Structure 1
Amino acid sequence: MSLFSMAFAGGGLILLGSWESLTSTSKTQRFSTITLISASFLSLLFIFDSLLSIFDSFSSHDKMGPTLQLQVLAISSLFLLFSILGIFNNFSKTLIFPYPLINLILLFAFIEEFLLFHLQFKDVDGVENRYYDLMMVPILVCVISTIVELKDSSFESIESIRAKGGVNFAKLGRGLGLILQGTWFVQMGFSFFSDLIANNCHLHRKSRGNFTIQCQSHMDLHRGGAIAVLLFNCHLALLVAVVCGVYSIVGKRFVVEGDYRSYRPIGGEMQTVENEGKFTLDSDSDEGGVNEIDQVDGNVGSRRGNGSVELVVNGHGVH
């Protein structure tokens, strides 16, 4: 991997996630053709990059390099299989694969990607491990969204989902997770392969796909991890701000508006008794005078004079 490859992969994931989020209101297809073609293109690029890293590890006599890149090859192959089957469903009229099967392949790919970043500890003291831990957050969002979509697709037909309309929140969540993955890929590229990493921390490369970031002291290691967490929080805040801005622009067009004509103010049901009675309050509390509450044209009243209380019901007083 290099700065260019990670930045290019991150940009592709950002565009793919943005399109996936914008098409979450689509009623025509489960996965759009642009999404599937983009996913297949990115998968092929990851496979090509992994093959280059494997050949480089052989020339560098790095025994761990091919093992690490074989995991990336397996994940990229699953995403490529998912995209190919989805393209067949969109263009073929005879060979149609079940949508839950395609969604299940996508789920396995995300789970394997989650395990890759969870178990990839080439150097226990490397700062890159903190970046990999934070990468698991958007991947977990994609896993949960895909599980929700798989559950819905297993119990509902295509016609019922299309007729239902509205926003596919599982698809929207997966799109946002892909966007956050893309921005964090770009951040890792600039942090690992430039001088934007923490002070006293440097990149040590054994081969193209096997590298680590070591720090001089224990305090430098903790500072590098803290900077990674701070950067991830900034990425998450930026994503929230962008989503809120985009939603405010396109929400009125794509989101179904509520029926505000049926709005009734709080206490509106009390307006129906306006013609039944009128309440008046006369108070003279400074001189200990009469506080009087009357109901005009009503049957119930209350009078209090000089400390005595009188309850009037249907013209009869009770003391």
Structure 2
Amino acid sequence: MAGLFTYLLGGAGIFLIGASESIFSSSETLKDISSLNSLQPPTPNSKSKSKSKSITSLIFFSISLISFLFILNSLISIISALKSNDQTGVVLQLQVISISILFFLFSILGLFTNLSNSIKIPSQLLNTLCLFAFIEEFIMFYLRKKDLDGIENRYYDLLLVPITVCIVCTLLELKGSSFKPGYSRLGRGVGLVLQGMWIVQMGFSFYSNLITDGCFIKEKSRGNFTIRCKGHPEFHRARAIATLQFNCHLALLVCFVVGMYGLVSKKYGVSSESLQYKPLGAEMQHLDQGRFTLDSDEDEDEVGDRNGGVKNEGNVAVETTVNGYGSHH
């Protein structure tokens, strides 16, 4: 139960951080869009600035708290691995500690920058620390395959998807001028939400019967375990169930994003002029002022022949020839 509690606490914390990041960045982005639609420059007052500052400080504080808890949990797991003479478990937890230290340093520096007027650390440096932490996390889960027959490897492979989203969005935020930072922070927040949801799912799957019948957990120490199955049918069934669970989490994430966007846009709605909608027949309205016909020139020639070989073109009468001879005046 201790392992399940660890996964639940860590996943829930990452989910809340990602949700706060997504909601805050989307509200700021919609504020900018609404100010552009109203053709008025944004005029931030002291109240809005203090509110934004407090929310950002709360996000940094949450990151530092979750990172500290990860470090503490890894230290406890290292002590358990040393008692069990498990060198692999020690190495795995050292990797987790190194990643957690990067996130902890990122959050502490961001918190000092946001609260202090004397300490100003460039955002490029903070984003670089965050990028290195996500890349190291990606490498750890990509190479964490102690047992090739372990079902946990499938869960680790699927966890690479939200980590990749966070890496890409952090890279876009580093560009700054070429990409709006609000959208990159929004994407990173959504990636953190999916990552937190999947860590919670991993906890339930590893420490309960939500994988499949015939699979069991085998622990060498507190932080070093594997999920084995009795045979190939159970193994393939467990991998299929993991993929199905991930697809369900993606569907829940879509519902979360749509609901969040509806709530935020209701408060900071975008005016209808921003849609730049034009009716489908607007470009054809100028044709109503002229004369438009589907008659071809051949039809006009036939009409002219029936009228005695004379057809009118404006105010000029043109006489056609008959058998090669024209009339002479």
Pair in the same fold by TM > 0.5: yes
Q: Provide the aligned length of Structure 1 versus Structure 2.
A: 292
Question: Alpha-carbon deviation of 1:223?
Answer: 1.4
- Ranges in structure 2 where 5+ consecutive residues have no aligned partner: 33-48, 321-329
1:286 maps to none
1:267 aligns to 2:281 (yes or no) = yes
Question: Alpha-carbon deviation of 1:98?
Answer: 1.1
Question: Alpha-carbon deviation of 1:269?
Answer: 3.8
Tell me the distance in 2 between the aligned counterparts of 1:261 and 1:59.
64
**8 A Cα contact 1:302 1:311, kept in partner:** no
- Per the normalisation by structure 2, the TM-score is 0.79
Question: Alpha-carbon deviation of 1:304?
Answer: 8.1
Choose which of 193, 216, 227 in structure 2 pairs with 1:213.
227
1:68 maps to 92
Query: What SS does the aligned partner of 2:217 have?
Result: strand
Tell me the distance in 2 between the aligned counterparts of 1:74 and 1:89.
23
| Residues 81-90 or 248-257, more deviating | 248-257
- 1:35-54 matches, within 5 Å, as 35-54=59-78
**8 A Cα contact 1:111 1:143, kept in partner:** yes
1:34 aligns to 2:35 (yes or no) = no
- Aligned identity (percent) is 46
Question: Alpha-carbon deviation of 1:138?
Answer: 0.1
- Ranges in structure 1 where 5+ consecutive residues have no aligned partner: 282-292, 295-299
Choose which of 86, 92, 111 in structure 1 pairs with 2:116.
92
Query: What SS does the aligned partner of 1:97 have?
Result: coil
2:24 maps to 23
Tell me the distance in 1 between the aligned counterparts of 2:237 and 2:319.
79
| Residues 40-49 or 240-249, more deviating | 240-249
Tell me the distance in 2 between the aligned counterparts of 1:234 and 1:263.
35
The higher-RCO structure (CA 8 Å, 6+ apart) is: 2
1:241 maps to 255
| Residues 261-270 or 6-15, more deviating | 261-270
Question: Alpha-carbon deviation of 1:95?
Answer: 1.7
Higher strand proportion: 1
2:37 maps to none
- 1:112-261 matches, within 5 Å, as 112-152=136-176, 168-254=182-268, 256-259=270-273
Question: Alpha-carbon deviation of 1:242?
Answer: 2.0
2:125 maps to 101
2:39 maps to none
Tell me the distance in 2 between the aligned counterparts of 1:263 and 1:128.
49
**8 A Cα contact 1:301 1:313, kept in partner:** no
Q: Deviations over 1:139-197 (max 9, x none)?
A: 00000000000111xx58xxxx9xxxx87110010000000001100100000011112
Evaluate the alpha carbon distance shift between residue 140 and residue 261 of structure 1 in structure 2; reply closer, same or farther with a 3 A threshold.
closer
Tell me the distance in 2 between the aligned counterparts of 1:211 and 1:109.
24
Tell me the distance in 1 between the aligned counterparts of 2:210 and 2:159.
18
Question: Alpha-carbon deviation of 1:36?
Answer: 0.3
Question: Alpha-carbon deviation of 1:273?
Answer: 4.5
Tell me the distance in 2 between the aligned counterparts of 1:112 and 1:70.
12
**8 A Cα contact 1:16 1:39, kept in partner:** yes
